[in-house]
Structure 1
Amino acid sequence: MSGAIVVGYTATDAGADAAALGARLARSIGARLHLVLVLPAEGTRSPAVVPPERAYEEHIRAQAKKWVEDAIVRLPQAITRTGHVRIAESFAEGLISAGEEFGARLIVVGAAGGGLFGRHRLGSVASELLHSSTIPVALAPAGTAGQDDHVIPRVTVAVGTRPGAENLLDEAASIATESGVGLRLVSLVPFDVPPGLDTGAIRLAGSTHAHEVLAVAKELLPLDLGAVVEEAPGDTVEDAVANLSWLPGEVVLVGSSRLAQPRRLFLGSTAAKMLHELPVPMIVVPRTRAEAGVR
């Protein structure tokens, strides 16, 4: 088996989406799935107007445990999975702690309520994770639970010109290899260059950079798995993402911002613009060097 996946679960549509994406990833890479429901420390205590009672805390935990057990039963039987109820100061803190305890490859969370079907909307938990996690975070768009796909059909990685993209490419190649699927490299160079360059120079730089990355990617992949380059069409990041073709169930990886602290996440401007248009899950990978692959 290949590591573990921690899913931030709640008994909501977003929780079901996160569980569905976690199951897809676990099945694809052969990982153990840990479904984690985090209760806030103050939420397990009885109201302040009455003395704290152990029965009240036990009631809250019992309800949480029932939610997790019900969710575990609904997951594919072929996946090795366990459920956990944790107490922490914040949901994100509890997930990061669980991720470190279980040696997680990924932490998976769903979209905030009120978002469009098939699209992302960052909530407070996802935002906190993206500012503090040392573990890659997978974001499930709304409606993921309603999809019938059981494995990842392709891995896409968005690459820019920023140095330090080796970790991003390594992670993308690793997921593609373990899933037995091809790797698509999408060049974001046209949106990641200094202002003032003419269009021809930008396109030339993008094409050159993309093929350099392709050569590296092919060295990382097994011979029977392919890697291709696709230049993002359009004049803006949003146009590019909207005009790209996306397979149902595929995932796209991006690097964290160059402004993030080493080994921590921060969703940069380019990745944030991508997120608004993406119809597929996004995995944000922490940088381990001085800069990140995609801002």
Structure 2
Amino acid sequence: MTVLVGRMPGSDPGAGALVLGARLARALGGPLVVCTVTMPGERLVDESVPAVDGVEVETTAIEDRSVPGGLARAAHAHGASVVVLGDAPPGPGSVGARLARAADVPVALAGATTRDGPVTRVTCAFGGGRHAGRVLAAAVDLARRTGAPLRVASFGPRRGPTVPPEAGLRAEEIVVEQWREQMVAAQRAGLTELGVGDAETVAVAETTVEDAVAHLGWDDGEILVVGADAAGTATRVLLGDPGAAVLRTAPVPVVLTPGTTTL
């Protein structure tokens, strides 16, 4: 189960990306490949990387006019199960956003807070959309391979468009509770379909989706699995509403799964 870490020529592969890549390589039991994408004809300088404890590390380079396109080709050539980048949450036009469209494997974003050590928990951001079952399957697969417990979480704002301010707090609470019940029921149905009976399920509603994400406790060694829908604008990651807010706010590394593969 090869893990591919992407980097730009002449740059550090990114401490966060290398650390997350090593964590995943150990958990998945495969080698780590650090791949540099160069423009056609560009001279490649020394691309050595530091040794990583307990992981076989290989360096490689590929020519392509597009960094996401080159990484997608490299992932296919090496049979990678996941591509790791040092990106913060991907915005329009970012390498992470474009790669999520170009690759048919999950894309892991290390961010700035990645720490070394085992994966302590896998959380699936469950939105209930048409790809929810496939994204949940990817999270279940990752949890099984890493031996980490699984949590399925849905996030929402407390006041939706169907609850006007004048309706009062009681009406708002009723709507929020109905939403919680519906989401947890959908989570459990999805888990049952996958043969999983021991996962934690939770639906959190706060003033904003960002507050809901912050309100849920997170472990240092946790990984969040989120679905990335490639429909729509070419460089935009569409996670539905409130998926984009979850992606922006997550305090742990994120795995964007295209909804068609597992790890």
Same fold (TM over 0.5): yes
Contact 1:177 1:221 in 2 (8 A): no
1:22, distance to aligned residue in structure 2 (A): 0.8
CA RMSD of aligned residues (A): 2.9
Please give the alpha-carbon distance, in whole angstroms, between the structure 2 residues aligned to 1:203 and 1:103: 44
1:280 is matched with 252
Q: Per the alignment, do residues 258 and 95 of structure 1 end up closer, same or farther by CA in structure 2, a change over 3 Å counting?
A: closer
State whether structure 2 residue 158 is matched by structure 1 residue 186: no
TM-score by length of structure 1 reads: 0.74
Residue type of the alignment partner of 2:21: G
The 3-state SS of whatever aligns with 1:107 is strand
Contact 2:222 2:252 in 1 (8 A): yes
2:203 is matched with 231
Q: Compare 154-163 and 78-87 and name the one that shifted more.
A: 78-87
Please point out which of 181, 184, 189 is paired with 1:210: 184
1:201, distance to aligned residue in structure 2 (A): 2.7
2:80 is matched with 104
1:266, distance to aligned residue in structure 2 (A): 2.9
Structure 1 segments of 4+ aligned residues over 6 angstroms from their partners: none
Contact 1:255 1:285 in 2 (8 A): yes
Contact 2:98 2:236 in 1 (8 A): no
Contact 1:130 1:267 in 2 (8 A): no
1:24 is matched with 23
The 3-state SS of whatever aligns with 2:14 is helix
2:100 is matched with 130
1:241 is matched with 213
Residue type of the alignment partner of 1:25: L
Q: 5+ unaligned residues in a row in structure 2: which ranges?
A: 164-170
Please give the alpha-carbon distance, in whole angstroms, between the structure 2 residues aligned to 1:5 and 1:217: 27
Residue type of the alignment partner of 2:175: A
Q: 5+ unaligned residues in a row in structure 1: which ranges?
A: 45-59, 113-119, 290-295
1:57 is matched with none
Q: Per the alignment, do residues 177 and 102 of structure 1 end up closer, same or farther by CA in structure 2, a change over 3 Å counting?
A: same
The CA deviation string for residues 102-151 of structure 1, in whole angstroms up to 9 with x for no partner, is: 22221111126xxxxxxx4657322321343322111111143xx3x322
Please give the alpha-carbon distance, in whole angstroms, between the structure 2 residues aligned to 1:75 and 1:9: 17
Contact 1:257 1:265 in 2 (8 A): no
Please point out which of 115, 133, 137 is paired with 1:170: 137
